[in-house]
Structure 1
């Protein structure tokens, strides 16, 4: 690894800034190295948003929000809604809140939570979304699915994007916890899965 000058290091430490059109909404993002996909919106998130139905009054939860692309897109489409974004990484939470402010989306807020551990228990969500990390681990996934089921309003949806390798695993677990599973879209690398609380 080549030794970088102080100037090059300072440049790396500066916020990464970009603008993206998601669901016909132009959003500005700032991010930093160490957060997932810092320079651009990743392909899985693009696929999820392309196939996500959003109502104007969603009470939504973005689980593992990163710097906020999914949660803030929902917020931009659901101006009468309330958007919660959670992540276990404090830098992700900080940038998600900054990006909410940057885009004037004051009905969206991010806070630290491992899964739904810090999400107020009285909240009933109409939509829960997640770009599930490939290395999530089956124990954490089980906890998350049961907690999501408990906090979804009747008729509420859980929509996730995973790598294709996790597709059958998600199908099995969605059916076990929710009693239903819908493969919304399968792309080259990612699958969008949906379950509804009946």
Structure 2
């Protein structure tokens, strides 16, 4: 076997991340092509640092990737649940694998464009997303309106975005939810929240 093949075999192996999220030691398997495959990204860490999760939370993680946000929320809500959705089938496969790896049974994971595959009538007390920077504003508005429809009164929606998008988030949250609160602004990322009134 030539050395080139050996390197390809190594590249095909899962990458393994171990980190502490919301106070829980967690393990994630990832692969090349998924967002932030070698480590939990700084935006996710910032959001989790400023997130309060109730033990009976019914949460949704929109664009879950391999699952760091949604699975750590599920771990923190043993009497609740977390629904994870992503439009990338590889991300969904890894999120499912990571739910098993971390011993979580209070999760549902769907291949879904936004919320279109999430069962109708399913409501949430908490929604989170690490918004991709490279998508159209129309796409964001669809997400925000869909989330608003599914949040129960008093439900909270947290986003982390690159800081360059913070003004847009503030404007669109006020339009869609009627409110906006900047939770934390860092040099690279901003965490914001809206509430379903």
Shared fold per TM-score greater than 0.5: yes
Instruction: Check conservation: 2:65, 2:91, Cα contact below 8 A.
Output: yes
Aligned pairs for 1:65-76 within 5 A: 65-76=64-75
Instruction: Check conservation: 1:17, 1:29, Cα contact below 8 A.
Output: yes
Instruction: Check conservation: 2:92, 2:109, Cα contact below 8 A.
Output: yes
Instruction: Check conservation: 1:100, 1:109, Cα contact below 8 A.
Output: no
CA displacement 1:69-123 (0-9 Å, x = unmatched): 0001101100111110000000000000100000001111211111111111201
The SS at the match of 1:104 is coil
Question: TM-score normalized by structure 1?
Answer: 0.97
Question: Does residue 160 in structure 1 map to residue 174 in structure 2?
Answer: no
CA displacement 1:16-60 (0-9 Å, x = unmatched): 112111111000110000100001000000000000110001110
Question: Does residue 178 in structure 1 map to residue 177 in structure 2?
Answer: yes
Question: TM-score normalized by structure 2?
Answer: 0.97
Aligned pairs for 1:22-171 within 5 A: 22-171=21-170
The SS at the match of 2:176 is helix
The SS at the match of 1:142 is helix
Show structure 1 runs of 4+ deviating over 2 A: none
CA displacement 1:147-186 (0-9 Å, x = unmatched): 1110000000000000001000000000001000000000
Structure 1: 5+ residue stretches without partners = none
**Alignment root-mean-square deviation, CA:** 1.1
Instruction: Check conservation: 1:184, 1:192, Cα contact below 8 A.
Output: yes
The SS at the match of 1:57 is coil
Offset at residue 138 of structure 1 (A) = 0.9
Instruction: Check conservation: 2:130, 2:159, Cα contact below 8 A.
Output: yes
Instruction: Check conservation: 1:59, 1:127, Cα contact below 8 A.
Output: yes
CA distance in 1, matches of 2:48, 2:92: 20
Counterpart of 2:189 in structure 1 is: 190
CA distance in 2, matches of 1:69, 1:148: 20
